[in-house]
């Protein structure tokens, strides 16, 4: 089992064993790393002699332009590295650029909401299996992915357990834990959250990256698990790993020390 860690800073790696570093973000193009930051992380990766995966979010045209400049650096500095895509437009950009293309968590279509667990035990076995599946359990989607040079699918450690089996698909899979991505949106709930003036207005205001300073815990009687709001994205915590992962082609664990957007 390959061990990967999502890199935030060197402190986030203390005491961790890892064969691969993930760097970037999945949920907001305003947090796409700068070219200078990318170069520093690449030097760190080379010094540690570990593998590298660059993670990308869903984007607008501006985000595409920012990523295009980064991909040119990656082609030179770490040719053949993994690029994890969460936007089909980004996939079209990196296709045929020589990277190992990986389908990210935002495109796998797992059923992630913790509220599912309120009724899960009462469901039929067929319904349970559906809720434990993802879009790439489908044979046609697997064939398309392999044909397009996609090598891997990223999964969340969802509360229902995972029924997916990639062992005969030509694909491999990774499992993120302990933080599960639940849902995301372009509207950031933390925008102007530290401004009294902002609380009295409705709208979308200039981003001051409040998400890098604040996070909120969300609780409700009907929600069996506590949620964590960071910026435009909701997370939940699940550190109980499924068994027999490698038998099903899930051969990488991606540890997240804290949610990163």
Give the pLDDT of residue 229: 83
Classify residue 209: in a domain, yes or no: no
Number of structural domains in the chain = 1
Give the pLDDT of residue 118: 87
In angstroms, the CA 97 to CA 78 distance is 12
| Pair 155, 132: CB distance under 8 Å | no
**Helices 35-48/61-77 angle, 10° precision:** 30
Give the pLDDT of residue 215: 76
| Pair 16, 5: CB distance under 8 Å | yes
Q: What's the CATH number where 62 sits? A: 3.20.20
| Pair 119, 90: CB distance under 8 Å | no
Classify residue 26: in a domain, yes or no: yes
Give the pLDDT of residue 154: 97
In angstroms, the CA 84 to CA 89 distance is 12
**Percent of the chain residues topping a pLDDT of 90:** 61
- The tens-digit pLDDT sequence of the chain (261 residues) is 999 998 887 777 877 888 999 999 999 898 999 999 999 999 999 999 999 999 999 999 999 999 999 999 999 999 999 999 999 999 999 988 889 999 999 999 999 888 888 888 999 999 999 999 999 998 899 999 999 999 999 999 999 999 999 998 889 999 999 999 998 887 777 666 666 555 555 556 677 777 777 778 888 888 888 888 888 888 999 999 988 899 999 999 999 877 765
Classify residue 104: in a domain, yes or no: yes
Classify residue 192: in a domain, yes or no: no
Classify residue 141: in a domain, yes or no: yes
Nearest CA to 213 out of 182, 187, 237, 191 is that of 191
Give the number of residues written for the chain. 261
| Pair 48, 16: CB distance under 8 Å | no
In angstroms, the CA 175 to CA 188 distance is 26
| Pair 232, 123: CB distance under 8 Å | no
In angstroms, the CA 85 to CA 47 distance is 26
Classify residue 251: in a domain, yes or no: yes
**Chain mean pLDDT for the chain:** 88
Give the pLDDT of residue 126: 93
> What's the predicted TM-score (pTM) here?
0.89
pLDDT digits 0-9 by tens, 89-144:
999 999 888 899 999 999 999 998 888 888 889 999 999 999 999 999 988 999 99
| Share of the chain residues as helix, strand and coil, in percent rounded to the nearest 5 | 35, 25, 45
Classify residue 198: in a domain, yes or no: no
Give the pLDDT of residue 204: 62
Residue 164: how many other CB atoms lie within 10 Å = 23
Which structural domain range is residue 109 located in? 2-179+238-255
């Amino acid at each position: 089992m390959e061990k990967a860690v999502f890199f935030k800073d060197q402190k986030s790696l203390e005491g961790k064993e890892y064969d691969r570093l993930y760097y970037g973000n999945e949920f907001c193009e305003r947090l796409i790393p700068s070219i200078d930051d990318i170069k520093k992380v690449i030097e760190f990766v080379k010094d540690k002699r570990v593998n590298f995966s660059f993670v990308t979010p869903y984007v607008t045209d501006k985000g595409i332009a920012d990523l295009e400049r980064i991909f040119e650096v990656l082609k030179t500095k770490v040719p053949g590295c993994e690029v994890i895509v969460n936007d089909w437009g980004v996939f079209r950009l990196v296709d045929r650029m020589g990277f190992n293309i990986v389908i990210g968590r935002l495109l796998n279509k797992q059923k992630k909401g913790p509220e599912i667990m309120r009724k899960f035990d009462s469901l039929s076995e067929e319904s349970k299996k559906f809720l434990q599946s993802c879009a790439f359990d489908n044979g046609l989607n697997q064939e398309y992915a392999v044909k397009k040079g996609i090598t891997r699918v990223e999964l969340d450690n969802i509360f229902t357990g995972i029924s997916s089996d990639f062992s005969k698909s030509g694909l491999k899979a990774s499992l993120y834990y302990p933080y599960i991505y639940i849902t995301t949106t372009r509207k950031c709930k933390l925008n102007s959250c530290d401004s009294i003036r902002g609380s009295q207005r409705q709208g979308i205001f200039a981003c001051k990256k409040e998400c890098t300073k604040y996070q909120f815990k969300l609780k409700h009687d009907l929600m069996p698990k506590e949620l964590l709001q960071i910026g435009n994205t909701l997370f939940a915590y699940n550190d109980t790993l499924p068994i027999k992962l490698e038998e099903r082609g899930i051969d990488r664990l991606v540890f997240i020390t804290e949610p990163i957007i």
